[in-house]
Structure 1
Amino acid sequence: MYKHAKESQVSITELMLPSHSNFSGKIHGGHILNLMDQIAFACASKHSNHYCVTASVNKVDFLNPIDVGELVTLKASINYTGRTSMVVGLRVESENIQTGKVKHCNSSYFTMVAKDENGKNAKIPGLILDSEQSVRRFARSIARQEQTRKRSSTFNASEFKIEEHIDFIKSQNAKIELK
């Protein structure tokens, strides 16, 4: 079985309140992460027809601050499907309701895993790629997975070669004092 991404796309809009802010009056990043996790869950569950859990989050960059009183819109779509997991692409935008100015605040990728009623990984529908953009997103998700695997093996404690990194680290704001 296969599904189109548009069948499980989800978006939510929420008014940012003072209770969501940090000490500087900007919306707390943790609040935005919580909303992102909720919408990733909703999108993945809608696609898979199963309860889903967050397996990983790939790169969260807060590009622009969000102010109290702004509307925040989160959009989620399935970018990739494996056998039991899927990558949900997320976009976060804020809108100043007085000026109408919209800011891109964040894009991120959540890997979600479908679970059956016994908590075991559940097989999910594949993804129908019906546009050049959907093929690009699917291929990009595969490339990100490969980069993660390579990064994990390069810095694995048993594989790590300190001499390959010492000179570069010395050029950074760090002092090496090995005993």
Structure 2
Amino acid sequence: MTDLMETLIENREMVQPNHANMLESAHGGNVMKWMDEVGAMSAMRFSGETCVTARVNQMNFERPISVGDTAYITAYVYDAGESSVRVRLVTEREDLRTREREKTTESYFVYVAIDENNDPTSVPELTVSTDEGDRLRKKALDGERD
């Protein structure tokens, strides 16, 4: 069994001009790629297996991330099936000089754990042993239904 808090991963990507669209903000495809990579890391930390993306439930872009800011990405596993792993992902725009952050993007990805033959393989049961883990899981389950 793996605890939710053990799956929590936070990562940053500096938005460079080559990541930008014509409005000088991060291209949505780059943000999605970064989120997918961090989400897969969380799923693999949980399952102990290689995980591949099976589904993106939705991708809500609320505001842009300007060139020079960082994309601060948080991911954690909030539910699991037999071989599937559900991960909540939140991206915030962060100004490293002021440490100011605001949410820009939110999504829920589903990954599938695979074995050495690329066949689906079982994953452990998710446990939640802290108040913070309970809060995060509830937030993910409530948000997934929106």
Fold match by TM threshold 0.5: yes
- Residue segments in structure 1 that go unaligned for 5+ positions in a row: 148-179
Aligned-partner Cα distance in 2 for 1:111–1:134: 17
Map of 1:7 onto structure 2:
6
1:93 aligned partner: 92
Show the counterpart of 1:136.
Answer: 138
Q: 1:99: how far off?
A: 3.7
TM-score by length of 1: 0.73
Moved over 3 A (4+): 137-141
The higher radius of gyration belongs to 1
CA offset at residue 98 of structure 1? 3.7
The CA deviation at 1:134 is: 4.9
RMSD between aligned alpha carbons? 1.9
Percent identity, please.
29
Larger RCO: 1 or 2 (CA < 8 Å, sep 6+): 2
Indicate if the aligned counterparts of 1:80 and 1:138 stay in contact, CA closer than 8 A.
Answer: no
For 2:5 and 2:13, the matched residues in 1 are separated by: 22
Given that 2:16 and 2:67 are in contact with CA atoms closer than 8 Å, whether structure 1 keeps it comes out as yes
Bigger strand fraction: 2
2:69 is equivalent to residue 70 of structure 1: yes
Q: Which amino acid aligns with 2:34?
A: L
Unaligned runs of 5+ in 2: none
Aligned to 2:40: 41
Structure 1 residues 40 and 25, CA, compared in 2 at 3 Å: closer, same or farther? same
Question: Which residue identity lines up with residue 61 of structure 1 in the other structure?
Answer: N
The normalised TM-score by structure 2 is: 0.89
